[in-house]
Amino acid sequence: MNIGVVGVNHNLAPISVREGVSFTDLQKIEAINYLLDKEIEEVVILSTCNRSEIYIQSKNIKEKIKMIEQFYESFFECPDVSNYLFTKSGREAIEHIYNVTSGLDSIVLGEDQILGQVKDAHVFSMQLGSSKKIFNKLFREAITTAKNMKSTTKISQQPLSISYIGVKFLEKRLGELEGKNALVIGVGKMSKLTMKHLEEEKVNTIYVSNRSHGKIKEIQHEYKNIVPIEYKDRYKVLNDVDMVISATASPHMVIKYEEMPKLQKQVYMMDIALPRDIDPKINDIENAEVYDIDDLKKIHDENNEKRKELANIGYEMISESINEFLEWVDSTHIDPTIESLNDKCLEIREDTLEYIFRKLNLDTREKKIIDKMMTSALKRLIREPIINLKQTKDKGKREEYMKLVEELFEL
């Protein structure tokens, strides 16, 4: 099976490594084009706050996997990344794709956000032409199976996204969130989820700051207690809040150590961005505590036991879907023979019709009738061989039958 995956994720690599090999969209385009030029047939790159993974479909898969390992080091100029890279190939790589898509390889078992991220990554590659027949089938099946698994098991019924866990984490630090004030930096998906969860916890005021101030006004009607803050004024409200949650797409720190004011009371800061938004040195400042994505692992186990039970059902569904996918891949080996049979029929049809129409004086209606009859007869001729090819599961017997068909029809 010529499918492989290489990358880093939360299972092995700390946040400092993951943020060093995080792909921007422009870097994805550059990387995909580079890898296609290296005779890799299909490429999908999945880059999230918890993982940076390159999926490939290619001949000489082991050789290409080694090339991807070297690519990570050179592309990001990060020699240490080799200590944290994982590689999988064949069925193991396919299982990884299914598990990731279903949220069974996430920090929060069964979380929903990754499903959309995988879908977006696949669409991105389709638009670049780097996801073709095999990967289009594989990723669509993985996405469909993930949806069916979640619907059947209800594994994602409880909202345990990173945003939700971050809010619950802060609740434990503060005792309760009701009546507290918060500063949220960013207005992306994770920030919106954070604001939703903060409202559910009856937070008093949610100050919101974003580099593009206009985007806050676009979402202001969705929440009751939002107070927009100019991005340049984000430090000014730190003494008015009890907590800060930052989730921007900025490549740089948005809360910097050297610009921090003196804090008059305890402020808890949750950084759920990657690369990180909040300078970890702020932990050295009096009345400041900074947490990041890796800290959320410490509480995720509390909500995980029931999900593990449900995940076993998911693994069974995934295994069935993978078996079907592998059967489909195996059956694609007969596609060239079927295509040749159809081409042969088309060639006979065109030659025969050209001769008949040249010899007989027929009107348009008569020509259409003869064309339909000829096409139908030729399809009947090749229908049985095609059915037998598709139904023969034994690989050896199928290869013998393919040779017989190719010799019989002079393909």
DSSP-derived 3-state class of residue 280: helix
- Beta strands 181-185 and 243-246 are parallel
| CA atoms within a 13 Å half-sphere pointing along the CA-CB vector of 177 | 23
DSSP 69-125: HHHHHHHTT-GGGGGT-EEEETHHHHHHHHHHHTTTTSSSTT-SHHHHHHHHHHHHH
Angle (deg, nearest 10), helices 113-128 and 133-153 = 170
User: Would you state the structure tokens that stand for residue 15, as one six-digit string?
Assistant: 């946040």
- Dihedrals φ, ψ of 250, to 5°? -65, 140
State which amino acid sits at residue 330: D
SS3 of residue 7 by DSSP: strand
Distances (CA, A) of 208 to 151, 195, 226, 290: 34, 9, 7, 19
Q: Which residues are catalytic?
A: 49
Instruction: Answer yes or no: are the C-beta atoms of 186 and 141 closer than 8 Å.
Output: no
